[in-house]
Amino acid sequence: MAHPKSRISKTRRDKRRTHHQCEAKAITVCQNTGEAHLMHRAYYHEGNLYLKGKMIAEFAKEVVADEDED
Protein backbone atom coordinates (compact mmCIF):
# COMPACT_ATOMS: atom_id res chain seq x y z
CA MET A 1 0.00 0.00 0.00
CA ALA A 2 1.28 3.47 -0.92
CA HIS A 3 2.53 5.49 1.99
CA PRO A 4 3.82 9.08 1.76
CA LYS A 5 7.37 9.60 2.97
CA SER A 6 6.50 12.99 4.48
CA ARG A 7 3.42 15.09 4.99
CA ILE A 8 2.45 17.51 2.20
CA SER A 9 1.44 20.91 3.56
CA LYS A 10 -1.90 22.49 2.67
CA THR A 11 -0.12 25.25 0.79
CA ARG A 12 1.93 22.87 -1.34
CA ARG A 13 -1.15 20.73 -2.04
CA ASP A 14 -3.21 23.76 -3.04
CA LYS A 15 -0.44 25.12 -5.28
CA ARG A 16 -0.40 21.82 -7.14
CA ARG A 17 -4.18 21.99 -7.63
CA THR A 18 -4.26 25.52 -9.08
CA HIS A 19 -4.66 24.12 -12.60
CA HIS A 20 -7.38 21.60 -11.63
CA GLN A 21 -10.32 23.79 -12.47
CA CYS A 22 -13.49 23.40 -14.50
CA GLU A 23 -13.72 24.99 -17.91
CA ALA A 24 -16.72 27.03 -18.99
CA LYS A 25 -19.15 25.22 -21.28
CA ALA A 26 -19.02 26.20 -24.95
CA ILE A 27 -22.24 28.11 -25.66
CA THR A 28 -23.04 29.39 -29.13
CA VAL A 29 -25.92 31.28 -30.76
CA CYS A 30 -27.73 29.69 -33.71
CA GLN A 31 -27.68 31.85 -36.83
CA ASN A 32 -31.13 30.63 -37.96
CA THR A 33 -33.11 30.79 -34.71
CA GLY A 34 -31.03 33.13 -32.54
CA GLU A 35 -31.25 30.63 -29.65
CA ALA A 36 -28.26 30.19 -27.32
CA HIS A 37 -27.36 26.51 -26.87
CA LEU A 38 -24.53 24.11 -26.10
CA MET A 39 -22.35 23.28 -29.07
CA HIS A 40 -22.89 19.87 -30.73
CA ARG A 41 -26.18 19.36 -28.87
CA ALA A 42 -29.80 19.41 -30.05
CA TYR A 43 -31.99 22.16 -28.56
CA TYR A 44 -35.64 23.21 -28.46
CA HIS A 45 -36.89 26.47 -29.92
CA GLU A 46 -40.60 27.32 -30.00
CA GLY A 47 -41.51 23.68 -29.41
CA ASN A 48 -39.38 22.28 -32.25
CA LEU A 49 -36.12 20.35 -31.98
CA TYR A 50 -33.11 21.79 -33.83
CA LEU A 51 -29.62 20.46 -34.55
CA LYS A 52 -26.92 22.33 -36.49
CA GLY A 53 -29.45 25.04 -37.43
CA LYS A 54 -31.88 22.59 -39.04
CA MET A 55 -35.22 21.43 -37.66
CA ILE A 56 -34.99 17.70 -37.01
CA ALA A 57 -38.33 17.18 -35.25
CA GLU A 58 -41.50 19.24 -35.49
CA PHE A 59 -43.98 18.77 -32.70
CA ALA A 60 -47.67 19.42 -33.37
CA LYS A 61 -49.18 22.17 -31.29
CA GLU A 62 -52.31 21.33 -29.36
CA VAL A 63 -55.37 23.17 -30.61
CA VAL A 64 -58.13 23.65 -28.08
CA ALA A 65 -61.50 23.67 -29.82
CA ASP A 66 -64.24 25.53 -27.99
CA GLU A 67 -67.59 23.93 -28.74
CA ASP A 68 -70.67 26.06 -28.27
CA GLU A 69 -73.86 24.27 -27.24
CA ASP A 70 -77.18 25.87 -28.22
| Tens digits of residue pLDDT in 17-33 | 999 888 889 999 999 98
Residue 1 clears pLDDT 80, i.e. is over it: no
Domain residues for the domain of 44 are 23-61
DSSP state of 33: T
Residue 61 clears pLDDT 90, i.e. is over it: no
Asked if residue 52 is part of any domain, the answer here is: yes
- From the list 9, 6, 40, the residue with the least C-alpha distance to 26 is 40
Taking the C-alpha atoms of residue 49 and residue 42, their distance in angstroms, rounded to an integer, is 7
Count of domains for the chain:
1
Cα→Cα distances 64→35, 47, 67, 69, Å: 28, 17, 9, 16
